[in-house]
Structure formats: structure tokens, C-alpha cells
Amino acid sequence: MFQLNLTQYEDLERAEDRAEAFKIVAEKHCGLNLNYDPAKLPLVEDLLLATLEVGVENGSGTSGTRVPVPDALVRTFGCYTGEVLRRHPAPPGSWRSEVV
């Protein structure tokens, strides 16, 4: 459900909005109080790894196999991590569009 709920945020354009979507869904489904604190990044990493690992019974125990990663998870996780990094240097950074 965590990954599925992120798909409702696919149409967000701004990185800040995608970061907030990741924060909202992680709080709702995993009980994490994410506040863009760098100290919480290990918790976010654990959440991501747990989301991507699925226990598969193989007769001799359970082995971890990777599941497909939806684009919404990649985008929102990346934006959340970027937002943490943007907020904590002095002075804070800013998002800008890529110039092609």
C-alpha cells in the first residue's frame, strides 16, 4: 500500500511537493515522523529497503527478492532526500529546473 499510495502523487511537478508527498505517505503507512532532519535519513533508508525486499519462501527458509520499483517511489524518495539536503546547509539551498 505504501508504494501504491505514492502513485496518486505522480502528477506533482515541484520537487518540494513530491518530497512532502513522500513524507505524508511514510507517516501514514509506517508511522514515521519525518521532519526533514538529516538524522532521520537512516530510518528512511530502512523504510526504502524494507519496501523493496519481499520475503519469498523457498523451502529452505525465506530469501529476499527484489520487487519492481515504481517511478513514483523513486521520484518522491529522491525529492525527499534532496529536500533534506537542501534545507540543512547554511544558507539553505534552493531547487531549480534543469536547463537543457
Query: For residue 45, what are the contacts with CB-CB under 8 A and spacing of at least 6?
Result: none
- Residue 33 domain-assigned (yes or no): yes
- Residue 61 domain-assigned (yes or no): no
The alpha carbon of residue 32 and the mean position of all alpha carbons in its chain are separated, in whole angstroms, by 12
Per-residue pLDDT at 30 exceeds 90: no
- The per-residue pLDDT for range 11-28, each reduced to its tens digit, is 788 889 999 999 999 998
- Residue 21 domain-assigned (yes or no): yes
- Residue 34 domain-assigned (yes or no): yes
Residue 27 belongs to domain spanning: 2-8+15-53+66-87
Q: Whole-model pTM?
A: 0.74
Total domain count, the chain: 1
- Residue 60 domain-assigned (yes or no): no
- Residue 99 domain-assigned (yes or no): no
- Residue 92 domain-assigned (yes or no): no
DSSP state of 3: H
- Residue 93 domain-assigned (yes or no): no
- The per-residue pLDDT for range 46-94, each reduced to its tens digit, is 888 887 775 444 555 555 555 566 788 888 999 999 999 989 888 878 8
DSSP-assigned beta bridge partners for residue 53: 66
